[in-house]
Amino acid sequence: MIIVLKKEATDQEIDHVVEKIKGAGLNVHISKGKERTIIGAIGDEEKLAGIPLMAMSGVENVMAILKPYKLVSREFRKENSVLDIHGVSIGGKELRVIAGPCSVEKESTLIDTARLVQKAGATILRGGAFKPRTSPYDFQGLGLDGLKYLAAAKKATGLPLISELMDPRDIDLMCEYVDIIQIGARNMQNFRLLKEVGLTKKPVLLKRGLSATIKELLMSAEYIAAQGNSQIILCERGIRTFETATRNTLDISAVPVLKEETHLPVFIDPSHAAGRWDLVAPIAKAAVAVGADGLMIEVHHDPENALCDGAQSLKPNKFATLMAELRAVATAVGRSI
């Protein structure tokens, strides 16, 4: 249930409504926008049946949320959510690009790559310290050393960091080093993990699962939001279909659908969608054209010898060329990079 407060509602009036909702045994989520404050009552709405919310001072309207995902729905928040990651806004008019290697390998090459992608226009550095791999014999990441290398790259460039979390036992360690926690496609429905990151204050990038529907993606985001963390970025990275020409099938329509259904920022990962470096550029341009708020692109100094996903990684010079081309597309749709 949504309780929309009047523009002039006082803190005392807001507190009174919150107390009544909590007294009925429901959880409360408060969203303060530019024009209105909205209170989300999460739980069994039948318990509020006998409470005259509309009669309370400061209340403008009371509405039921029809979607199964409440806090992340466009019903709950009409305006787009804009996240602030150490001065980097995500979800606004300016598009953001996350770039870097799939896996952290060496400190020196990571710092070199970070400087090059920053020069080209990327504003967030990616790099996997813990890598979920299909085969147990493939490179699994450097763990703590990888996080330390990322920290060194941040010190050298100032770029905020994003890296993937796989295990709830590593959450404190990840929070110490990274600025955005990534939940990968394979863990999209790891609900224990989602609850744990929901309890943190860290922004979360949530990737769509390999065979997940848009509704399932939004329900997973709801798990995070329900724990009190509304700093969520959704990421479409391709889904598994019968097609074998690409690694996955990019659901480009997911972007406008998600923009209708949720107030959360939406990114696209063209690298994992295609699985081929030569397809990254056209897919990235399409993502910008269709309304994505940002991109996550894999960049490696030597893809041929990369320990993970070299076939889909751009060399730094190719990435710089792509960034120049993306600026033209962004301008055409009223955005900027």
123: helix, coil or strand? coil
∠ CA(178), CA(184), CA(185), 5° rounding? 165
On whether the CB atoms of residues 168 and 195 are closer than 8 A, the answer is: no
Q: Does 2-63 match 83-332 in CATH topology?
A: no
The tokens 């690694």 sit on which residue? 247
Q: Which pLDDT score is estimated for 123?
A: 97
How far is the C-alpha of 224 from the C-alpha of 282, rounded, in Å? 32
How far is the C-alpha of 317 from the C-alpha of 120, rounded, in Å? 9
- CATH for the stretch 83-332: 3.20.20.70
The number of CA neighbours under 13 Å toward the Cβ of 186 is 9
The total of other beta-carbon atoms located within 10 Å of residue 174's CB is 23
Q: Which pLDDT score is estimated for 139?
A: 65
Could you state, in order of their start, the residue ranges of all structural domains in the chain? 2-63, 83-332
Strand partners, 239: 249
How far is the C-alpha of 128 from the C-alpha of 163, rounded, in Å? 5
User: Whole-prediction pTM value?
Assistant: 0.89
Q: Which segments of the chain does DSSP mark as H helices, in order?
A: 11-23, 107-120, 144-157, 171-177, 191-198, 214-226, 254-261, 270-274, 277-290, 316-332
How far is the C-alpha of 305 from the C-alpha of 250, rounded, in Å? 26
∠ CA(73), CA(79), CA(83), 5° rounding? 90
Q: Which pLDDT score is estimated for 201?
A: 87
Query: Sign of the CA dihedral 155, 319, 128, 296?
Result: positive
CATH among 3.30.70.1140, 3.40.50.2300, 3.40.50.300, 1.20.120.10 for 2-63? 3.30.70.1140
Ranges of the chain whose pLDDT falls below 70 = 131-134, 137-140
Q: Which pLDDT score is estimated for 118?
A: 97
Strand partners, 38: 4, 31
Query: Sign of the CA dihedral 114, 120, 125, 127?
Result: negative
Secondary structure, 3-state, 202-265: CCEEEECCCCCCHHHHHHHHHHHHHCCCCCEEEEECCECCCCCCCCCECCCCHHHHHHHHECCC
